[in-house]
Amino acid sequence: MKKTVAVVGLGYVGLPLALVARNKGWNVVGFDVDAKKVQKITAGVAPFEDEFVATQLKDNPLEASTDPICIVDAEVVVVAVPTPVTDDHIPDLTPLTSSLESILPHLQDGQLLSVESTINPGVMTEVVLPIIKKRPELTIHIVHCPERVNPGDAKWSVANIPRVIGGFTKEATKKGKDFYESILDAKVKEMDSVMEAEAVKILENTFRDINIAFVNEMAKSFDKLGIDIKNVIEGASTKPFAFMPHYPGNGVGGHCISVDPYYMIEKARQVGFDHEFLKLAREINNSMPEFTVALLDRAKEKLELSEPITVALLGLSYKKDIDDIRESPALDMKKILEARSDVSLRVFDPHVPRMSTVDSLDAALTDADVVMLATNHSNLVEALTPENLKQYGIVCVIDGKNALNADGIAEAGMLYLGVGRTREAK
Ligand SMILES: NC(=O)c1ccc[n+]([C@@H]2O[C@H](COP(=O)([O-])OP(=O)(O)OC[C@H]3O[C@@H](n4cnc5c(N)ncnc54)[C@H](O)[C@@H]3O)[C@@H](O)[C@H]2O)c1
């Protein structure tokens, strides 16, 4: 008989994982508090943009429920609920604790419980374990196996990204490793403790945040010196060791890199350590939407633009070719632009039509003065050629992702302002 895995939280992480497990012969059931999402999934419709999810669900909907009792027959329970921060950047563990409380009455002796949500070191011990211990009669094998999925990445998916795992007992870790190796085409590394597994994920994501903050800061100073950061990174990348390219831009978004450092910052604060470096990185990355929008003032002065300046803000999601807008710097840019009395704003994102103010790129560009690219969606980058922009009468391109043809745009007679790179109109 097929073994069952129950997935708690059917979002960007939980749903692809559920489908990967099903493909590897597991019986899968999903639990989510979002009734609309459950309805879609059980009707075979992807609740968010994801080609793999859409294809998998189309002819074979997933069994899912808003009733936590659905986990009762599972050998394995995987928790993949959100771990956001509050407006003050304080970790909010409510989805995690409430999901655990709701499955608690239905847990069964001997089950493997894996938490995949991103958490700081200590959460498994201080938050997860005490909840499960409310059923002392049960032996639950508890592990943490942080998810590393990179939405929109064609090469690395839930199915083939290697994992690390840490359990409260050796037996739990071994059971967890066996489970993940049965569903993944990837290696699973056993860590010495749950806390080490928690720390791995925090290290990975703060590493990215800090490196991006570093190039963002370099972009700001190179901008003053008239040095092109993109060319410099290309040059530095010829060094075959000890340099890893990271790229500047209009900010860092998404549910991971812009959030996870705050979990570590807060935890460290509680134990008397001040994470100055992590805090500074967050500050620099959070300043980038404002820096990018402020390029408009340079354009205004150089080109003597008359008010109102019609700006086409293109892209809303936090990264290319997906529809996830969580913590997106494009939303901050939108807010800053909306507050400006000298700007008439159009907003268009082909992946986020519900928040667009126009329904096509053509409508966004017609009679616009300035294009501001906030997300480098492939179809936007392809369409924003110098010739096309020129035809629409655009006078300045502000490229928040350094993704467009800077030289071509300048040669076509437009001012190009990227993040740490400028080309005067020829
Ligand atoms: N999205 C990513 O790229 C990514 C990558 C790696 C790790 N993570 C981590 O994985 C976790 C999940 O992220 P996500 O992007 O899938 O989030 P998501 O918001 O897309 O999905 C989470 C799901 O959990 C459900 N949920 C919320 N509270 C619940 C509850 N009490 N009981 C049951 N279900 C509940 C929500 O309705 C939602 O469908 C987070 O900790 C995140 O940091 C995300």
Whether 284 and 383 map to the same domain: the answer is: yes
Whether 19 and 131 map to the same domain: the answer is: yes
With 90 as the cut, is the pLDDT of residue 365 above it? yes
d(CA 186, CA 145): 13
> Is the link from the previous residue into 308 a cis peptide, with omega within 30 of 0?
yes
Confidence of residue 154 (pLDDT cuts 50, 70, 90): confident
pLDDT of residue 79: 98
CA of 31 to the centre of ligand 1 (A): 12
CA of 225 to the centre of ligand 1 (A): 43
Whether 10 and 150 map to the same domain: the answer is: yes
pLDDT of residue 312: 98
Q: Whose CA is nearest to atom 13 of ligand 1?
A: 82
The answer to whether residue 214 is domain-embedded is no
Tell me the percentage of the chain whose pLDDT exceeds 70.
100
Mean pLDDT for the stretch of residues 88-104: 97
The answer to whether residue 218 is domain-embedded is no
d(CA 375, CA 318): 7
The answer to whether residue 259 is domain-embedded is no
CA-nearest of 252, 257, 255, 254 to 215 is: 252
The answer to whether residue 228 is domain-embedded is no
CA-nearest of 201, 29, 12, 21 to 103 is: 29
d(CA 21, CA 4): 9
Whether 289 and 195 map to the same domain: the answer is: no
The answer to whether residue 226 is domain-embedded is no
Whether 295 and 402 map to the same domain: the answer is: yes
Query: Long-range contact list for 332-340, CB < 8 A, 24+ apart?
Result: 332/251, 332/289, 332/290, 333/250, 333/289, 333/292, 333/293, 333/372, 333/374, 333/400, 334/374, 336/289, 336/290, 336/293, 337/293, 337/311, 337/313, 337/372
The answer to whether residue 39 is domain-embedded is yes
Average pLDDT, the chain: 97
Q: List the alpha helices (DSSP H) in 237-354.
A: 260-270, 276-303, 329-338
Whether 178 and 321 map to the same domain: the answer is: no
DSSP 8-state assignment for residue 306? P
> How many structural domains are present in the chain?
2
**Which tens digit of pLDDT belongs to each residue from 136-148?**
999 999 999 999 9
The answer to whether residue 22 is domain-embedded is yes
Q: Is the CB–ligand 1 distance for residue 319 below 6 Å?
A: no
Pocket test for ligand 1, best of 32, 53, 326 (most atoms within 8 A of CB): 32
Mean pLDDT for the stretch of residues 73-80: 98
Which of 158, 174, 200 marks a domain boundary?
A: 200
Which of 159, 180, 200 marks a domain boundary?
A: 200
With 90 as the cut, is the pLDDT of residue 151 above it? no
Which of 172, 200, 228 marks a domain boundary?
A: 200
What DSSP string describes 161-225? S-EEEEESSHHHHHHHHHHHHHH-SS-EEEPSSHHHHHHHHHHHHHHHHHHHHHHHHHHHHHHHH
Q: Is the CB–ligand 1 distance for residue 157 below 6 Å?
A: no
CA of 58 to the centre of ligand 1 (A): 22
First CA to last CA distance, the chain: 71
| CATH code assigned at 176 | 3.40.50.720
Residue 410's domain comprises 280-423
**Which tens digit of pLDDT belongs to each residue from 284-332?**
999 999 999 999 999 999 999 999 999 999 999 999 999 999 999 999 9
Q: Answer for the pair 62, 72: CB distance below 8 angstroms, yes or no.
A: no
The answer to whether residue 113 is domain-embedded is yes
Pocket test for ligand 1, best of 42, 69, 147, 153 (most atoms within 8 A of CB): 147
Letter for the amino acid at 55? T
Whether 52 and 185 map to the same domain: the answer is: yes
Q: Is the CB–ligand 1 distance for residue 13 below 6 Å?
A: yes
CA of 12 to the centre of ligand 1 (A): 7
With 90 as the cut, is the pLDDT of residue 218 above it? yes
Q: Is the CB–ligand 1 distance for residue 147 below 6 Å?
A: yes
Q: Is the CB–ligand 1 distance for residue 82 below 6 Å?
A: yes
Name the residues annotated as catalytic. 256
Q: Is the CB–ligand 1 distance for residue 62 below 6 Å?
A: no
Whether 30 and 135 map to the same domain: the answer is: yes
